[in-house]
Amino acid sequence: MTNTQLVNRVDHIVLTVNDIERTMLFYEQALGMERESFFGSEGQRRHALRFGDQKINLHDRATETPTKAHAPTCGSADFCLIAAVSLERVIANLKARQIPIEAGPVSRQGALGALRSVYFRDPDRNLVEVAEYV
């Protein structure tokens, strides 16, 4: 087999959270994400946060699905999102909502090159990085 890539992008990630409503409200306010509700293949009501062409699906501890992480743990995620606006605007919004910035702006390396990033934590203490390419 050759080294041909078999995938080309992330469609969604899944966060296991303590309180779905609290998490949806946080991401709506902090980053302008949009709520989405749907029914999973098992017939259970599911929740997600949509942004751009991607989304974050949310599970709480009671979510039953055969396609769940082996050991889902609240607060174990660490991920980077690319800003749709200037990083200064993201920082201003976080400060206005009294969301503490843990680090940044700092220089980092992303999938497509140099980034300028800020880091903060969501209600479950997941580490969220928001960045812009420089």
The structural domains of the chain, ordered by start, are 12-133 (3.10.180.10)
How far, in Å, CA of 115 to CA of 108, rounded?
Answer: 5
pLDDT at residue number 1: 53
According to DSSP, the residues that pair with 14 across neighbouring strands are: 57
Pairing state between β 34-39 and 54-59: unpaired
Give the ranges where 1-134 is alpha helix by DSSP (H): 20-31, 87-96
Shortest CA distance to 14 belongs to which of 70, 83, 52? 70
Mean pLDDT for each consecutive 10-residue tract of the chain (134 residues)? 76 93 96 91 84 93 77 90 95 97 95 96 96 95
Catalytic positions are 129
pTM, to two decimals: 0.88
pLDDT at residue number 2: 63
pLDDT at residue number 94: 97
